[in-house]
Structure 1
Amino acid sequence: VRIDAAGNSHSIVGELLRAVAEGAFEQVVITECGEVRLAKALRAFADTAPVPVEIREDRRFICSHARFRRWAADKRELRMEFFYREMRRETGLLMDGTEPEGGRWNYDTENRRKLAKGVRPPDRLRTSPSALTREAMADVERLFPEHFGDLDGFGWPVTVADAEAVLEDFLTRILPGFGDWQDAMAEGQPWMWHGLISTAINLGLLDPLEVCRRAEAVYAAGGAPLNAVEGFIRQILGWREFVRGVYWLKAPEYGKRNFLDADRALPWFFWSGETDMACVADVVATSRTNAYAHHIQRLMVTGNLAMMLGVHPDAVDDWYMTVYADAYEWVEMPNTRGMATFADGGIMGSKPYA
């Protein structure tokens, strides 16, 4: 359904109801969604629809809801590191028998090298928009010309083939440097050595466990050091699965948490980029162009600043959800309220990142 089609309800449930009413389906099969509000609406639709509705578990994740609840049930504190170790044991990723490969679970201390003068991140593979994608981009340009964002730099994969190409390029050319400079920032360098596959995984174009196993195979073949491969796998098997588990475990109350009683409005420069703070101006500018920022920019620049300014977490949530192509509520909210602003009071992390 085109965004400006006559009768478009601008609602997933509304369009399902219309399709069923038109007799288009004898049964509806839905993958569970990524936010509490929509999940509630889809359950209500399933209860009242005139045709059978099946809501299936989301296969874009490694850890099921039930598995995460079992892990969390006896924990006084939820800490990613211990969840991550459990997932390593269960999947066998980077394991040497019952012990972690290399003798350590986590090589985070080896992911913090400063970018030496003269070292430049490699150029990155960007995909060319298909005819259908360009058609959608034209609709966006026509209907939302004043909105935040820039279509000229769009190069995200929207097909499995494109996502595979981006992943393979990362594994063969980029991954070896990811470990050393995972936490580095440089002006005008939005990509650094990051994977650029979060949108593809979240869309279901890449399987997260397969991605991790392919990275592990690169390490086994001597194509990348352990600090790079472990750090990369930790982002997917650890953080991605953990934040999703926390979201569904604590929802919907999690979205109401405001531990620091932050109540200020989001400053306009988060949208305009007009500020003397060079790092903030750079992150806003490249976020506008690419709908992307790497995790250090999100956590330590925009997120940290929003916390120190006392911006209400609802406003911070709205900004991240609006700006980034890989933002879904299940991943955005725990990262924003838990890691960036400490609005959850310590559910995600032990202390604020101020």
Structure 2
Amino acid sequence: MIDLTLKVNGSDYKGWKAIDVSIGLEQIAGSFNLTASDRWHGRDKAWPILAGNKCTVLLGETTVITGYVDEANPEYDAFSHSLNVTGRDATGDLVDCSAIYKTGQWSGANLLKIARDLCGPFGISVKADVDVGKPFPKFALQDGETVFEAIERAAKQRGVLLLSDGRGGLVLTRAAQTLIDAALVKGENIERGSGSFSHKERFSQYIVKGQAPGGDSFSEPAHHTQLKSQKNDEAVTRYRPLIVYAEQGDGSTYADRAVWERNVRAGRSARLQYTVTGWEYRPGKIWQPNRMVPVKDDFIGVDAEMLIARCTYTLDDGGSRTTLELCRREAFDLINLPDKKKKIKRSRKAKDKDELKW
């Protein structure tokens, strides 16, 4: 079994008795919760780990979190000593802190530029492994929003996900399509499985409304043209309409937005959760989010390739395990708002005839 190492101030700390580490597509910062006990393994004094310390978390040889200790909680009695340590990736500061940048406005800047300007003061590097799209004619911070909220608002308009790279940086990316060389199979490597299928956030009709410039003087509301597009979710059999107001675009953009709204909500309505033994699926390869994995489970009724949305690595008296949260890839197919001057070419996944099983 591989071990977890917490690196703080040049020292390596192992031998944790309770471990809970979580990383995923829906959290910009990975988190950890570790507990050491049993008389500190021969130590009379507590490990010198303090809140605010820089730290790195490794599972075996794989670095999964690089950031800071949020809390350090020592405890003792007449028989034992213990220390509980929690922390997050450096990108956790983007979630907590307010967005501040000069005048708070950009003109002609793309997503990567905006993200780097906002993350720079925190010492957080930003890289993109996908095309981040065209520059924004105008982009302005909103009062009271955090750094993460500001970047996420821009990222959604360019169809981009925000992920921690596990090494203290931010990555602009999209949902992966690459299959890992392993599978989740009922009766073989799955210890426990469960499914959650909900229609609470699904609707029978998705009506996207907005307006587009009607001429050269489009800054005046009188020159704006009202636009609307509607798509249906045949899996929702009762009347449940939803009106969505689009950020910008033209008629074809709104048609894509309606299909995206339907498909993403359908994708996020179906979740699978599986627990497997250990943290690795192959020696030296740990389970990680944003990977596709084949799933065969005749009880829940799935035989498909699913996206790993979250991994939670645990250790307790029952041993080490990984809990995987899976969903359809559509759940993270963020819409990419196209250039108004270009004709929209919709992907296969965005087609209105796309079949939605769940």
Structure with higher Rg: it is 2
Name the one with the larger helix percent.
Answer: 1
Name whichever structure is richer in strand by fraction. 2
Q: When the two structures are superposed, what TM-score results if normalisation uses the length of structure 1?
A: 0.24
